[in-house]
Amino acid sequence: MVPVVSGALHTWNPGTTDIRALQKATGTGRIAATWYQYPGFSIDLNFTDQNVHQVAIYCLDWDSGGLRRQSIEILDANNNVLDTRTLSSFMGGQYLVWNLKGRVKIRASVTTSNAVIGGIFFDGGTPSAPTVSFVTLDTATQGNWKGKYGIDGYSLAGDLSSNPAYVVPGLPAASYTWNPLTTDIRALQKATGTSRFAATWYGNPTFSVDLNFTDQNVHQVAIYALDWDSWGPRRQSIEILDANNNVLDTRALSSFSGGQYLVWNIKGRVKIRATALSGNAVFGGIFFGGASAVLEPIPQLPAWENNMTVGGARFCNQAEINSAIGAGGVITEGNVWYYDGAKVYAQIGAYTNNPSWYTCAGYSNTAYRSWVLTTTEGANWPVGRLNGWRIFPHGLLADFQRSGAIESKTAIQRLAKNSAWAENGGGLGCEASRETAYILQSYLVSEAIGLPRNPLLATSVNYALGHLNQWFVSRSCTNLVPFMVGLTLEALINYYEATGDSRIPPAITLAADELWLRAWVPSQNAFYYESADPTFVTADLNLLVAPAYAWLWQLTGDKRFQERGDQIFAGGVLGAQYWSGKQFSQNYRSSFNYVKWRSAPARSLPLTVIR
Q: Given pLDDT bands bounded at 50, 70 and 90, which one contains residue 389?
A: very high
pLDDT at 185: 96
In tens, the pLDDT along 241-267 reads: 998 899 999 999 999 999 999 999 999
pLDDT band of residue 124 (cuts 50, 70, 90) is low
**Residues forming beta bridges with residue 84, ordered by sequence position:** 73
- Report pLDDT for 294: 60
Average of pLDDT values for 377-406?
94
Beta bridge partners of 330: 325
pLDDT at 608: 60
β-partners of residue 278 are: 235
- The DSSP code for 386 is S
Answer whether 586's CB lies under 8 Å from 529's CB: no
Average pLDDT over residues 367-378: 96
Between β-strands 30-37 and 4-5, what pairing exists: parallel, antiparallel or unpaired? Answer: unpaired
C-alpha dihedral, 450 to 455 to 461 to 463, nearest 10°: -140
pLDDT at position 603, please?
65
Q: Are 309 and 233 in contact (CB under 8 A)?
A: no
State what percent of residues in the chain have pLDDT above 70: 96
In this predicted structure, the answer to whether residue 292 has a pLDDT above a threshold of 80 is: no
C-beta atoms surrounding 152 within 10 Å: 22
Helix, coil or strand: residue 73: strand
Question: Distance (Å, rounded) from C-alpha 305 to C-alpha 430?
Answer: 34
113 in Cβ contact with 38 (< 8 Å): yes
Stretch 137-159: mean pLDDT, rounded?
91
Query: What pLDDT is attached to residue 463?
Result: 98
Alpha carbon distance 315, 328 (integer Å): 21
Closest by CA position to 421, among listed 405, 406, 436: 436
Residues 6 or more apart from 200 whose CB is under 8 A from it?
Answer: 157, 158, 175, 176, 178, 226, 228, 282, 283, 284
Q: What is the pLDDT of the chain when averaged over all its residues?
A: 91
Mean pLDDT on 447-461: 96
Model confidence at 611: pLDDT above 60? no
Backbone dihedral angles phi then psi of residue 529, each to the nearest 5 degrees: -70, -45
Q: Which of 415, 310, 399 minimizes the C-alpha distance to 352?
A: 310
Return d(Cα 320, Cα 331) in angstroms, integer. 11
By mean pLDDT, which of 269-278, 349-358, 372-381, 593-602 is the weakest?
A: 593-602
**Inter-CA distances, 325 with 113, 322, 338, 340, 465, Å:** 37, 6, 9, 12, 33
Identify the three-state secondary structure at position 119: strand
The answer to whether residue 66 scores a pLDDT higher than 70 is no
Selection from 609, 445, 455 nearest residue 89 by Cα:
445
Q: Say whether pLDDT at 605 is over 80.
A: no
For residue 293, the model assigns a pLDDT of: 54
Tens-place pLDDT, residues 69-119: 888 999 888 888 888 888 877 888 899 988 888 889 999 988 667 899 999
Q: Where are the alpha helices (DSSP H) in 326-403?
A: 341-352, 357-376, 394-403
Band of pLDDT at residue 582, cut at 50, 70 and 90: very high
DSSP-assigned letters across all residues of 251-291: EEEES-TT-EEEEEEEESEEEEEEEEEES-EEE-EEEES--
Per-residue pLDDT of 396-447, as tens digits, reads 999 999 999 999 999 999 999 999 999 999 999 999 999 999 999 999 999 9
Mapped onto helix, strand or coil, the DSSP state of residue 88 is strand
Counting residues of the chain whose pLDDT is more than 90, the rounded percentage is 69
Q: How far apart are the first and last CA of the chain?
A: 40
Are 209 and 161 in contact, with CB atoms under 8 Å apart? no
How does pLDDT run across 456-467, given as a tens digit for each residue? 999 999 999 999
What pLDDT does 352 receive?
95
Please name the amino acid found at residue 424. Answer: N
Q: DSSP character for 381?
A: S
Q: Specify the pLDDT at position 260.
A: 96
pLDDT-based confidence at residue 191 (cuts at 50, 70, 90): confident
